[in-house]
Structure 1
């Protein structure tokens, strides 16, 4: 056993050395810096920050470099590092109505108050490879307008004025939502806990669930009431001062969907909302999150649960976390010699018994 352990240690050290060599790649090619990843692979950095639950672009870029571009491994690194950090306080809820928007669009109102801002988007590109990038050519600079200093009101407020959309009141006793990073997920989960889980959830999984609702598995047609990307201030109450101060600024993506609602015994027919909010510029994730959030509200709104996967709270929330999923999946490639030998002996025993029984039947015939 001692020899096997020592041999295993040497093999693991060699594997680590080989990994470092593969990470570096061809030494004749300039090494990719953390700053380059942070500035030029921002969407990957944003995903790592969002699903890693830590807003730090430099650390996210470092994790991407260390993981050779494997974003789930990078998210794992960020989550692990996050657990080592002390918590010194809590910030106040961010005010997305005060967001300085780089991008703000609505699929429900063409002439929205505050205007529509296309911002940086792939939506109108032709999805053709740009070989100028391979040639390291300089691309033209966009003529961008400065973001307005005034607060940009939410578009759903237009529907609010006429009572056409359900209001989102905070239930008594729920001013401080539970913290998924400090408390285990339990079912049934309230909406704040579901939203936290979806924010940290794997983008691909949440996208698949959202897509399923659009294809009829949930009977829930949605409009994007508003999608906005921009910077918001983060404030923190300082007991010694007696008031809140700005401690920084973060970029977030927020999506509100508008969904039909037939009404109930207490509520007239009106629209309801799905909601998504993530760190960074992650439109696909925010929209997917909003669609799944609305699907998970089926019991709360008294709608018929047709048994669609996206309406099953325990199914969605138990399987959306890519770190848990990866850990459980990849553990099967680790040594399971004892378990397999036990099953091997069992199969051999069953085969022997089956062959003896067959021989006995043939002899009786």
Structure 2
């Protein structure tokens, strides 16, 4: 139960005005433009798009600016805006084998069919602060910055041909949409993957790390990690066929995991899968590890009680917008609730003191 506080609206208006002032910062410093955020803070923009379930770099950059760099608040803004958008139809499944790859690596085959493309990566940097960036000069240009345009086959396909990789089960033609219907557990794999791709990167990373430390019986190799752009197609009923309506940047990861086999399955490899908007390598790899850990039941493995194997624990706690809402609501007025508990504690203490005095 909440009670109105006189003068509260004025205080809230002043708080909003102060927030806007703090967001702007020192007026003598040039204001950040949306283009600057979009082009120079791409990884933050990509995270907001992935966890907000909306591919729009300009809108994600605007949300980051409005949220003063608080990415979870920016995700919240994106999701709220997304609910206002009309839905005209559904796109066809994207074909990642036709991805124009800026980056494509494998930790399983040195001479991977189609070649390895390092692309833009922190993997080989020394993690030393580059004070030259403070000079705000032009960055050196890469000698080879063109994406691989020809179709690049998936490495998992080569293992498939030898029967070394477990075949994927056929999914439902139209999986449920997590953005329109609340999740319920147990959830099938398409719904779990949706929850993981929208999940908080830090939480999914922690779950993935726990599987590597032994909490989940997952020993994974990165079969393939690719980043690039894919065409988005949509079928137009009047035409009777699909047409390309645009393209999106995606990061896709397939991990290859050991599997000893079962009574019905021979020894073979299994896979984990991750797919997210933009360049989000850490998220895609983490997602694939957690995906594999959650598949223990369908693969006939034992549940060792690891957190990453618990659907309810993972799926119900991965969403940072839900977590933030529930966490931050406790700073709102709870005067009546607290006063009732305060009175209860006082009453119990008085009764305890009276009993003790009577005993003496």
Q: TM-score under structure 1 normalisation?
A: 0.97
Unaligned runs of 5+ in 1: none
Correspondence for 1:285: 283
Aligned pair count reads 358
Higher mean displacement: 64-73 or 142-151: 142-151
Higher mean displacement: 142-151 or 293-302: 142-151
- 1:167 and 1:4 map into 2 onto residues whose CA distance is 60
- 2:159 and 2:4 map into 1 onto residues whose CA distance is 69
Correspondence for 2:140: 140
Residues 99, 149 of structure 2: 8 Å contact kept:
no
2:131 is the counterpart of 1:131: yes
Q: How far apart are 1:167 and its partner, in Å?
A: 1.3
Correspondence for 2:69: 69
Q: How far apart are 1:148 and its partner, in Å?
A: 3.0
Correspondence for 1:337: 335
Correspondence for 1:302: 300
Q: How far apart are 1:158 and its partner, in Å?
A: 1.5
SS in 1 for 2:54: coil
Alignment of 1:166-245 (within 5 A): 166-171=166-171, 174-245=172-243
- 1:276 and 1:47 map into 2 onto residues whose CA distance is 14
Alignment of 1:13-24 (within 5 A): 13-24=13-24
Residues 102, 148 of structure 2: 8 Å contact kept:
no
- 1:347 and 1:61 map into 2 onto residues whose CA distance is 49
SS in 2 for 1:104: strand
- 1:149 and 1:351 map into 2 onto residues whose CA distance is 75
Q: TM-score under structure 2 normalisation?
A: 0.98
RMSD between superposed Cα atoms in Å: 1.0
Correspondence for 1:346: 344
2:252 is the counterpart of 1:254: yes
Map Cα deviations across residues 285-314 of structure 1 (whole Å, 9 max, x no partner).
000000000000000100011010000001
- 1:242 and 1:267 map into 2 onto residues whose CA distance is 41
2:51 is the counterpart of 1:57: no
Higher mean displacement: 139-148 or 271-280: 139-148
Map Cα deviations across residues 156-194 of structure 1 (whole Å, 9 max, x no partner).
1111111000111314xx111111111111111000000
SS in 2 for 1:289: helix
- 1:288 and 1:147 map into 2 onto residues whose CA distance is 25
- 2:148 and 2:278 map into 1 onto residues whose CA distance is 19
- 2:284 and 2:51 map into 1 onto residues whose CA distance is 12
Map Cα deviations across residues 115-153 of structure 1 (whole Å, 9 max, x no partner).
000000001000000011111122211111532332000
- 2:180 and 2:35 map into 1 onto residues whose CA distance is 31
- 1:264 and 1:146 map into 2 onto residues whose CA distance is 45
- 2:313 and 2:160 map into 1 onto residues whose CA distance is 33
Map Cα deviations across residues 250-280 of structure 1 (whole Å, 9 max, x no partner).
0000000000111111110000000000000
- 1:302 and 1:32 map into 2 onto residues whose CA distance is 53
Correspondence for 2:42: 42
Q: How far apart are 1:4 and its partner, in Å?
A: 6.0
- 2:132 and 2:150 map into 1 onto residues whose CA distance is 38
Residues 274, 288 of structure 2: 8 Å contact kept:
yes
Any runs of at least 4 consecutive aligned residues in structure 1 with deviations exceeding 4 A, and if so which? none
